[in-house]
Amino acid sequence: MSSITGSHMTLTVSSVISGALMGGTCSPVSDISVLSSMAAGADHIDHIKTQVPYAILNGLISAILFIISGYIFNR
Protein backbone atom coordinates (compact mmCIF):
# COMPACT_ATOMS: atom_id res chain seq x y z
CA MET A 1 0.00 0.00 0.00
CA SER A 2 2.83 2.40 0.75
CA SER A 3 4.21 2.00 -2.78
CA ILE A 4 0.81 2.95 -4.23
CA THR A 5 0.37 6.02 -2.03
CA GLY A 6 4.02 7.08 -2.19
CA SER A 7 4.59 6.73 1.55
CA HIS A 8 7.92 5.84 3.09
CA MET A 9 8.05 2.02 3.32
CA THR A 10 10.01 1.90 6.59
CA LEU A 11 7.56 4.21 8.36
CA THR A 12 4.59 2.21 7.11
CA VAL A 13 5.96 -1.14 8.25
CA SER A 14 7.16 0.16 11.61
CA SER A 15 3.84 1.85 12.37
CA VAL A 16 1.90 -1.33 11.61
CA ILE A 17 4.20 -3.42 13.81
CA SER A 18 4.11 -0.97 16.72
CA GLY A 19 0.32 -0.72 16.50
CA ALA A 20 0.00 -4.50 16.58
CA LEU A 21 2.25 -4.71 19.63
CA MET A 22 0.27 -2.05 21.44
CA GLY A 23 -2.98 -3.84 20.65
CA GLY A 24 -1.55 -7.14 21.84
CA THR A 25 -0.42 -5.58 25.10
CA CYS A 26 -3.72 -3.81 25.83
CA SER A 27 -6.05 -6.63 24.84
CA PRO A 28 -7.16 -8.91 27.69
CA VAL A 29 -7.68 -11.84 25.29
CA SER A 30 -4.28 -11.56 23.63
CA ASP A 31 -1.93 -14.51 23.95
CA ILE A 32 0.86 -12.16 25.06
CA SER A 33 -1.20 -10.85 27.97
CA VAL A 34 -2.52 -14.25 29.04
CA LEU A 35 0.89 -15.94 28.97
CA SER A 36 2.59 -13.02 30.74
CA SER A 37 0.12 -13.01 33.60
CA MET A 38 0.28 -16.81 33.92
CA ALA A 39 4.09 -16.82 33.91
CA ALA A 40 4.21 -14.10 36.56
CA GLY A 41 1.57 -15.79 38.70
CA ALA A 42 -0.49 -12.60 38.76
CA ASP A 43 -4.21 -12.06 38.42
CA HIS A 44 -4.94 -11.55 34.74
CA ILE A 45 -7.08 -8.42 35.06
CA ASP A 46 -4.59 -6.82 37.47
CA HIS A 47 -1.84 -7.51 34.96
CA ILE A 48 -3.82 -5.80 32.18
CA LYS A 49 -4.61 -2.81 34.40
CA THR A 50 -0.92 -2.27 35.10
CA GLN A 51 0.12 -2.65 31.45
CA VAL A 52 -2.46 -0.38 29.79
CA PRO A 53 -1.16 3.01 31.03
CA TYR A 54 2.36 2.24 29.84
CA ALA A 55 1.15 0.95 26.49
CA ILE A 56 -1.08 3.98 25.89
CA LEU A 57 1.70 6.40 26.80
CA ASN A 58 4.11 4.67 24.45
CA GLY A 59 1.44 4.50 21.75
CA LEU A 60 0.79 8.24 21.97
CA ILE A 61 4.50 9.05 21.83
CA SER A 62 4.92 6.71 18.85
CA ALA A 63 1.95 8.21 17.02
CA ILE A 64 3.29 11.73 17.46
CA LEU A 65 6.75 10.70 16.26
CA PHE A 66 5.29 8.81 13.27
CA ILE A 67 3.31 11.90 12.26
CA ILE A 68 6.40 14.11 12.53
CA SER A 69 8.52 11.56 10.64
CA GLY A 70 5.85 11.28 7.97
CA TYR A 71 5.98 15.01 7.32
CA ILE A 72 9.78 14.95 7.23
CA PHE A 73 10.24 11.92 4.94
CA ASN A 74 7.33 12.58 2.56
CA ARG A 75 8.21 16.09 1.48
Where along the chain do its domains lie? 2-16+25-73
pLDDT digits (tens, 9 = 90+) for 14-37: 888 998 888 888 888 888 889 888
What distances in angstroms separate CA 45 from CA 50, 55, 72, one per listed residue? 9, 15, 40
Contacts of 44 (CB under 8 A, 6+ apart): 28, 33, 34, 37, 38
Q: What is the band of 68 on the pLDDT scale with cuts at 50, 70, 90?
A: very high
